[in-house]
Homo-oligomer: A and B are copies of this chain.
Amino acid sequence: MDRFLSSYVHNVDAKGRVSIPSSFRQVIHNRGIRELFAMRSLSQPAIDVGGPELMEHYEKRMEAVDPFSDLYQELAIYAYGDGAYLKTDSEGRILMTDFIRSHTGITDRVTFVGVKNSFQLWAPERFEAFRGALREKLRERLPSLRGAAAPVETPE
């Protein structure tokens, strides 16, 4: 149990709080993650959430770039400036800040989507649409999958 798996829809309460699915909390604990870091996904209206590795991923990327170039500076602004720490309360809930809401369109419900080493936050409707489109696309691209045992299906 060390991978973020499956998806869950949770409610946002009047204070803007949402419970992190308990299985995700397990994974967070098992991985020894102390601080949750959040970033806007580049290509999707979703927020990526994970531990420090999430940031290290970009740092590695940046090592290949001249540290004194504009590109490096820009990557730094993106990686560090366009993210946020997510503080959890004593019950394991996180706050849906404007930072999250404006990028995802989340209002009163959130879909948590496990993506192996990290998980994502989506507005449920958008995620449904995305998942549908994704399935189509994969069906076209990977026809060999069709015969197999419903490999593209995602648990509710």
* Chain-B contact segment, one of A11-19, A69-77, A88-96: A69-77
Task: Give the oligomeric copy count.
Answer: 2
Contact of A70 among B40, B43, B60, B130 (CB under 8 A): B43
CA distance A155 to B46 in the complex (A): 12
A64 partner residues in chain B, CB cutoff 8 A: 66, 68
Chain A: interface residue count, which band? 35 or more
Known contacts A6-B81, A43-B146, A80-B4; is-contact A154 B126 (Cβ 8 Å):
yes
Q: Could you write out 27 A-B pairs with CB less than 8 Å apart?
A: A1-B35, A1-B85, A3-B80, A4-B80, A5-B83, A6-B80, A6-B83, A7-B81, A23-B85, A41-B146, A42-B138, A42-B145, A43-B146, A43-B151, A44-B73, A58-B145, A74-B137, A77-B113, A78-B131, A80-B116, A81-B120, A115-B148, A129-B155, A133-B154, A134-B150, A134-B152, A137-B150
Interface residues of A (CB under 8 A from B): 1, 3-7, 23, 35, 37, 40-45, 48, 58, 60-61, 63-64, 66, 68, 70, 73-78, 80-85, 99, 113-116, 120, 126, 129-131, 133-135, 137-139, 141-142, 145-156
